[in-house]
Amino acid sequence: VVEHTELGRRFAAKVVSSQVSDTALERLKNEARVTSGIDHRNIVDVVNLGRSEDGSVFVIMELLEGEDLGVRLGRQLDDHPDTPWLPDEEVQLYVPEILSGLDAAHEAGVIHRDLKPENIFLAKRPDGVTTVKLLDFGIAKNAQPEGNHRLTRTGQIIGTPLYMAPEQARSMSDADARADIYSIGVILYEMV
């Protein structure tokens, strides 16, 4: 958590040391560029990308209060082992917002490629209402021709296997919007 000294407003910061690989630095920059290009209430808002005096790369984004869907699912399992699925009213709230954010990403030509419960944040607004935010576009692919610089080697698989579409597991370059929809299907199965 960081605070803007002039505005007095708090933000979340993601920082990658200059000592990590060039690929990790490029992924963070890619995440910031891709995410900031999608203006939608269900996508985390990235407000700045920069480099500190020590060479670390940072991304500044909106500060969210709440928990990710993975934590929520885990709590449901712990509290209700006989009914580990989420209540219908929660599912009916979360799923349209997840799909709305994903649709906005796809409309912008962005394929997330790592959708999982931990990358879906259930943000509590000050009025107590929950808003879903999609996070972590670090391995996202821009499907637009000008956005296809490679951050993965041919044959390299990155992502979360339990939520990964078969074609994505075979080749990251084969992943298109349908791979994200497959991942959402797995998440929905977990929720219900």
Residue pair 179/133 in contact (Cβ under 8 Å)? The answer is: no
Lowest mean pLDDT among 60-64, 119-123, 162-166: 162-166
Candidates 54, 82, 114, 180; catalytic one:
114
What is the pLDDT at residue 157?
Answer: 55
Question: What number of CA atoms fall less than 13 Å from residue 101's CA on the CB side?
Answer: 25
Residues 59, 50: Cα–Cα separation, whole Å = 7
What is the pLDDT at residue 158?
Answer: 64
DSSP state of 87: P
Mean pLDDT confidence for 66-76: 97
pTM score of the predicted model: 0.86
Question: Is it the case that residue 149 has pLDDT exceeding 50?
Answer: no
Residue identified by tokens 């799923």 is 95
Residue identified by tokens 């997330």 is 112
| 127 counts as catalytic | no
